[in-house]
Every structure is written in C-alpha cells, then in structure tokens.
Structure 1
Amino acid sequence: MMFQEGSIQLVCLTASSGVPLFTRGASRQLPFSVIGSLNGVHMFGSGQGVVLSSCETEGGGKVVWQVFQDSVMLIAVSASHQAGQGADSSKGEHLHLQRLLENVWSCMVMVLGQDELVNARNLERLKKDLRSCFSLIDELLEERRPGILGQLTHCADCLLPPQPSLLQEAVHGFTKAADSEFGCLLIHGRVAAATEMWWRLAPQEIVLLLALIRALSDSGAASCDYPVFLPQGSPTVAHRLLRFQLLPGADVCVLCGPTPSLQGAESTLVCRFWSPLTDTLRNCLAVGEHCLPTSVTLRPDVLAFLLIHRESHRSISCAPSPSCARPQSDPPSPSEARCWELLKLFYIFCTTRYFKQEEAEAAEEVEGGAHPENTEDFVRGFSHQPLKCYLVTDECKCFALQTAQHQLFLLTPLTAPTFALNTIAAQTLSSITAATSF
C-alpha cells in the first residue's frame, strides 16, 4: 500500500551553533526543547564521525536532516504515518522530505544569494531577510497546486499549446529584444514555450523559477522586476527576472541584465510581440489544466497520468474529467484531488523501487558505480533495469512504463482489466507523442 501524506514541519538552524532561524509548516510548532534535541543528536553524531540523515519515530513519523554549505541545517519532520507501515513507506517518505529540503535550500539561495547565507555575520538581520522566502517556502510545503508536480520530479511542468510554433517565435523575438537569451511563456503556471537557453538551466532551477513566477503572478501585479540568484548557475551574482501578465493566467518572463527597464519593456516590447497573438493566447488558456491540445484523444479509462521526457526534464500531467459512459454500477472513481495525490505517490513508489532517477544515475557515475540508496535490494541483483510495473490498490490500478525517452505513470479505474494495463499505457503514450512530438 502506498503511504499517505500528512503535515510536515520545517526547521532551519545555523549549522555551527544550532541557533533557530525559522520554522514553517504545521500550525502546531515543535517545542524549542524538541528542536534543540533534534539539533543536539545530529551534532553528537557528527562529533563521533557519523552522519545522521534520517530516522523514524515510535509513532511512525519521519525526521530528515541535511546541512548545506556547512552553514545552514534544515530539518523536516513528518508526523503523518502510523507505526508499522514498513520500509516501503519509509523509502518514499525519505525521498519526499529530502527533495523538500533540497528545494527549500535552493529557494533560499535564489532569493537571498549564497553569500548572504554562508557568510552571515548578523543573525538577526538574516532572520529578517529570510522572511522574503516564506511565501515560496510555504508553497513548497503546502503544495497548493495539486497538478504541479515539478518540485517532486525536478522536471518542468509543461502545457502543450495548440499552435506551438507561433508562441515559440514570439518568445524568441521578445527575449532577444529584451537583450536576453532566457525567456519563457507560462500558461496556468506551466511552460507553454521557452528559449533554448532557458531549457539549459538546471532542472531544479527551472522548477523553482516557475514556482516563483506563479507566486509573483498570485500577487496580482501586472508586471514586476525581481532580483534572483540561480542556485547552480549563478549563486552569488543576481539576475533580473522581468515578468509581465499578458492575460489572466498567461505570463511571459525573461532573465536579463541591467537593461531593459521594466517600464520600457512593458510599454514597447509587450505590445509589439504579444498583442497580435491575443487569440492564440486565449486558445492556450482554453486548454487549461488538461495540458493537451484537442488533437490528443485519451482513452476513457485514463483517470490521470504523468508523462516525463527524460532527456529534457520536462513533464506533462493530466487528470481528465470522469467519463460519463461508465456504468453506474462501477465502483466510484477517486476524486480529481485524490487522483493527483495517488499519482504523486505512485511516482514515488516507482522511483524508490524500480525506475532509476536521472539524478541517481549521474550520482552513480560520479561515485564509481555505487548503487543508489533508494534501490530495492532484489533489483540490484539484475543486470537490466525494469521497464514496466503495476500496482493494484483499493482505489485504482496503476501502471508505469519506461522507455529510452519517456517515463509514463498512469492511473486507471478498478474496472480496467489488469492484463490490459500495458495496452492502455502504450496507447496513451503513443497518442500523445504522435500528436505533439513531446
């Protein structure tokens, strides 16, 4: 059984002295004595030459520690599980919390810069500056957008527009006119078009930039000029992120230097490149969270799917409306919100047991062939990598398919024959790639 999610609390302290910098997450904060104990046991292990990365509590909770740049310690505490759920649940939760800590650290670097965090001389000032990260950190913690999975997959959430070439040309022209090579168009918070250099940014940087743009869009401002650091590409030198709202739900942004000014770009470049494409943008907005153009027809027994393009680190996900053609005698399908949750949990289930993640493969090469920590023991005994897996739960049936270019994670109703899951997944993958070249 896949694990169930719950509340998570995040604690940030200085790595050297254990001074608390902030806590975010669950409404009921951990007592100061507990925070001190969590820091103390980690420091004790370090003094004995032991790196404490995670542990489980008697009540079934999970604690994960991670120190960044020998300056900041982040601790994630999840109290969502019941005791006795087994090692499978623990592996999935560890991956979830580890990704969260990595994203939170990168978020702090993106907003404040690495020097501000590593060489902080005034802790009170640092505490005050860190407040500017809270809205973005809260979005990572609370996962307010069920269909956005990038912070877990480290793949950019994308939308496939009906007229991609027109939008691609506009993004390239707009970005070049803004003296930049890094630009993208977001529709409902997902990438609809972007420049080649934008896609060359590190996958995690793209995911966090998209999260930041969504947060800025939620503020209601029609445009903004925001300084950002790139956690991997430029952690110490800030760039300008210019964001413009073209229509409600449609935003264009560029990463640039001192020029152009926000007012100059808004008054001249936005109208010049995007006014002729108003109808095209409206057509993209009509695609909505479906993420696919009308040229793609999905089978009625697809509850939800996540499709990852492995080389480009892009993904599309969809939870179509339930088909009206299903007999009323069939077991009720999970709600849309529950489908998104199950899809995420199935992704964790597969990537912690069967499918190698791209980051794990890279780490394995660097470490000289060492097996990733999250690989199931029996899988290590095989010379090949699993290409398919399925899971039958009390709510739905799940199937995952891996090819050289793609990973597909699919949910179907309980009424779908188990022997047909492979066919359903293959047809879904074929229909999407044939119509969109994704």
Structure 2
Amino acid sequence: MMLQDGSTQLLCLTASSGVPLFTRGASRQLPFSIIGSLNGVHMFGGGHGVLLSSCETEGGGKVVWRVFHDSVMLIAVSGGGSSGEEEIRLQRLLENVWNSMVLVLGQDELLQLRNVERLKRDLRSCFCLIDELLEEKHQGLLGNLTHCADSLLPPNPAVLQEAVDGFAQAADSEFGCLFVHGRIAAATEKWWRLAPQEVVLLSALVRTLSASGSASCDHPVFLPLGSPTVAHRLLRFQLLPGADVCVLCGPTPSLLRAEVQLVGQFWSPLVETLRSCLLIGERSLPGSVPLRPDVLALLLINRETRRCVSCVQLSTHHALTDPILSTPRCWELLKLFYIFCMSRYFTQEETCWVAPEDRAQGGPTEELQHGFSHQPQQCYLVAEECKSYGLQTQQHQLFLLMFPSVPTFALRKVATQTLSDIISATGF
C-alpha cells in the first residue's frame, strides 16, 4: 500500500512528457520513482491502444488517471476504501481539480505549455482551492460530490432575495450570491443559470477567500464551461463573520466604490436578518421544518434547480438502544449511501464519474440498470450502524439515515413524511 488508509494524494503532470507540475495531499508524499511509474504505465497503455483509467493495488489502494485536452494529466492515489465507491469519489475529484485550475488560470494557460516552470509558479495560486476540494475541510458540504449547490434555506427568503437582486443590479451585474456558513442562502436568477459545476466551484472559492480573513477582495475568475478563456471579476464582501456576498461583474464598479457605497446601502438594514440565518448553522433548514427524532442525517436534492440541503441531527432519544455515531461519521455514511444509490439505482442529470471518452462504452451503473424492467424509485440499506433509505421523485432525491432501531417496514413512511415536511415548509 502506497499511502495510509483514508489519505489521498493528487499528482499533476504534463500529458506529453510527464513532467511533474505539483503534488497535493497526504503528509507522506510518494517517491519520484513511483510517480514516474504511474505516468509510465499510463503512457505504455496509450501507446498500445489501451486507455488505463483506474487500478487497485495489492494493499487495497486505488489509483485513478485522467488526461484533460491532451495537455495535463491528473492522477489520484488513495490509501484505501471500498473499491467502487472510492473510484467514484476520485473521478469526481479529478474533474473538480481540473475545473478549479481553469477557474483560476483560464484554459489557454493550461493548454499552451510553452514555459513549464512558469506554469508551475502560476499553479500555486490554485493550491488553496485544490486543497479545499481534496481535504474537504468544511464538514457537511457535499456539493463537490453531488455537483449540486450546497444551500441554506433561510426563514425569510424574500427579504434576502430582494437584497441580492438589488445589490447585483447596483454593481452592474446579473450574477449575485449570498453565502451563509459556506452555503448559498440567496442568489440571482442568472447565478442559478450557471453550470452546476461552476456554482459549486465558485462556492468553494468564496469559502477559501473568506477563510483568508480579508473583509473584501477582487478576484479574476474564468468560468470553466461558460467562459474558460475570458476572465470575469469576482467581488466578495464579508457582511458578518460567516456571511459573505459576492457578484460576478465586468470592469465596473471598483472594489472601493462597491464596498463604500453599495454594501452599506443594501445590507446594513438586514444585519438582524443575517444573524437569524447564521443561527441556523449546519442544519441548513429553518426551525419551522420539523424533523423526526429517529432521523440521523439527510441529503435532499432538487433535481431541477441542482440545489441540495443536508444536515446531521444527533439525538439522545435512542442512546440506550442504538450505537452512538459522531457527526463526522454520520457525514461519511451519508456520502457513502449517496454514492451507493447513484451508482446502482437512481438516475442523474449528468454523468459525474464517467469520463466523456468512456461514456460510449457504458459503465457499471448502466449495466446494472439494464437488468431492471423499470427505473428504481426507492431503495434501502440495513447496516449495523444505521438504516438508510433513498427516495427519488421527478423533482427530488432524498437520502436519509435513520437509527437501527427504526423498523425496516417503517423506513418508507419516515422518508416520505420527511420529504413532505421539508417541501411544504420551504417550497424547496
């Protein structure tokens, strides 16, 4: 085994010559000889008409390769985990890392490899965002995996929506967004029209900028799908600790004018409203949404808007009869159950872990689904730590973790009631 269990290392090389550009993740980096071997075996396969996309090591590790535009090769090496689920996670990681490099540097900079040493220096500006994706520092944010925007449903959405629309318009922009605890609380219509991958990466970028401690910043960004070669300005302002607003705009307004004139005009009257949003915290749902005490965690996806809300609810109600799970373990189990459902049963609007060049060949999901005479709409999983239930409708997907003591026959009722309660209270 090349790495310790649970650790992941990311390697970036030039596709043509295999020159290392950077490595991120894992405290103990792989030796240069192993990096060269990983690149060499991929090149050997390509020279014989074989596309090597992944393999499993004798020690249970996983290696995944991906070449982007015949220019950059990304390799993800994981120390362990369930084979199928781990490959899905790593494939999504490589896709996100490439898009984050485009977001910061632009596609032209990555395709025109005239000066490798200069590119190495330029890529350092991507490290904070790449580490955000690699290390998953912010617990409970699943957008990197689902490619749905992590959202927070505020108790008074109309007031915040009006403020975001007005603030963006005053900043000569149609793209504005309010973040609370790293989740989107309100955004303009054009912001939601961005590609889901772009919305997720912009959210991650804003989190890294906010973590830097600056009250405001003016950051150039390229939209990986919408505008990979022409930069836009991302203006970000901290309204309160944990609450940030940003706009995508052109040459105007200046950062100083927006900070001095516009931020106070639109957001000073809403300080108490913002504080009420901050109190929601990681629950992501307003207090008006009742959750049954036997629900451990949930992930709810709106398939039309590509938004998601998620939360963990630890209760002492079942402490005497059920195992006690930590919050990080609940998030981990929720991710694994999501991958389990999406890789075997449910459909999705985008093929998130199959490379474009591989899609024509089909994958395990397609092969498994061909065995059904219908499209599965619900599934469940019973394990020692919890019971899980997945529910898919035309508009929503719900993934629910419940205590083991909940009767298996009652799982469906709990799931349908939870979905109904959230939709009726929030309109999500």
- TM-score normalised to the size of structure 2? 0.96
| Residue 420 (structure 1) aligned with residue 407 (structure 2) | no
Contact 1:360 1:372 in 2 (8 A): no
Number of the residue aligned with 2:48? 48
What's the CA shift string for 1:112-154, capped at 9, x where partnerless? 1111110021111110111111111111111111200000000
CA distance in 2, matches of 1:384, 1:266: 55
Shift of 1:376: 6.4
Structure 2 residue aligned with 1:380: 370
Q: Distance in 2 between matches of 1:310 and 1:404?
A: 8
Which residue in the other structure is 2:348 paired with? 357
Give 1:197-208 correspondences, 5 Å limit. Answer: 197-208=190-201
Q: In structure 2, the residue corresponding to 1:174 is in which secondary structure?
A: helix
**Residue correspondence of structure 1 range 38-437 to structure 2 within 5 A:** 38-81=38-81, 89-322=82-315, 324-326=316-318, 328-360=319-351, 372-375=362-365, 377-437=367-427
Q: Secondary structure at the match of 2:232?
A: strand
- After TM superposition, the score normalised by the length of structure 1 is 0.94
Q: Is the 8 A contact 2:63 2:75 kept in 1?
A: yes
Paired with 1:360 and 1:318, the residues of 2 have a C-alpha distance of 25
C-alpha separation in 2, matches of 1:42 and 1:361: 22
Q: 1:294 to 1:73 in 2, by over 3 A?
A: same
Letter in 1 for 2:344: R
Conserved? CA contact 2:344–2:368, under 8 Å:
no
* Aligned 8 A contact 2:289 2:422 in 1: yes
Aligned 8 A contact 1:91 1:374 in 2: no
CA gap of 1:350–1:362, structure 2 versus 1, over 3 A, is closer
Is 1:61–1:80's contact at 8 Å kept on the other side of the alignment?
A: yes
1:362 to 1:334, Cα distance in 2 relative to 1, 3 A = closer
Cα deviation, 1:262-306, whole Å, max 9, x if unaligned, reads 000000000111111111111111111111111100000000000
Shift in CA distance, 103/190, structure 1 to aligned 2, threshold 3 Å: same
CA distance in structure 2 between the partners assigned to 1:90 and 1:377 by the alignment: 17
Following TM superposition, by how much is the alpha carbon of 1:414 offset from its aligned partner in structure 2, in angstroms? 0.7
Q: Percent identical across equivalent pairs?
A: 71
Q: CA deviation at 1:58?
A: 1.2
SS of 1:303's partner is: strand
Q: After superposition, give the CA deviation of every residue in 1:373-415 in whole Å (9 maximum; x if it has no partner).
A: 1316443122321111111112111110000000000000111
Q: CA deviation at 1:362?
A: 13
Distance 2:353 2:74 in 1: 24
Q: CA deviation at 1:250?
A: 0.5
1:309–1:416 Cα change, 3 Å: same
**Aligned partner of residue 356 in structure 1, secondary structure:** coil
Distance 1:292 1:111 in 2: 32
* Deviation, structure 1 residue 236: 0.6
Q: Is the 8 A contact 1:333 1:413 kept in 2?
A: no
Distance 1:7 1:418, change over 3 A: same
Change (3 A) 1:413 1:30: same
Distance in 2 between residues matched to 1:215 and 1:77, nearest whole Å = 24
Divergent runs of 4+, >2 A: 360-364, 369-372, 376-379
How far, CA to CA, are the matches of 1:208 and 1:355 in structure 2?
24
How much does 1:90 deviate? Answer: 2.1
SS where residue 310 of structure 2 aligns?
A: strand
Aligned-residue Cα RMSD (Å) equals: 1.9
For 1:35 and 1:343, locate their aligned partners in 2 and report how far apart those are by CA, in whole Å.
33
Q: Is the 8 A contact 1:346 1:409 kept in 2?
A: yes
Question: How far does residue 372 in structure 1 lie from its aligned partner after superposition?
Answer: 4.2
8 Å contact from structure 2 (residues 91, 354) kept in 1? no
Unaligned runs of 5+ in 1: 82-88
Confirm or deny: 8 A CA contact 2:139 2:331 kept in the other structure.
yes
Structure 2 residue 20 is the aligned partner of structure 1 residue 28 = no
Counterparts of 2:98 and 2:364, CA distance in 1 = 22
8 Å CA contact retained: 1:111, 1:133: yes
Measure, in 1, the Cα distance between the counterparts of 2:99 and 2:26: 21
Question: In the superposition, relative to structure 1, how do residues 5 and 35 fare at CA in structure 2: closer, same or farther (>3 Å)?
Answer: closer
Q: Is the 8 A contact 1:399 1:411 kept in 2?
A: yes
Give 5+ residue unaligned stretches, structure 2.
Answer: none
Q: Deviation digits for residues 183-204 of structure 1, max 9, x if unmatched? A: 0000000000000000010000
Distance in 1 (alpha carbons) for counterparts of 2:352 and 2:276: 39
**What is the deviation of 1:5?**
7.1
Could you say if the C-alpha distance between residues 35 and 370 of structure 1 is closer, same or farther in structure 2, counting changes exceeding 3 Å? closer
Deviations 1:7-66 (A, max 9, x none): 111100000000000011111111111111111111111111111111111111111100
Structure 1 residue 79, shift from structure 2 partner:
1.5
- Give yes or no for contact 2:92–2:353 (8 Å, CA) kept in 1: no
- For these two proteins, the number of residue pairs brought into alignment is 424
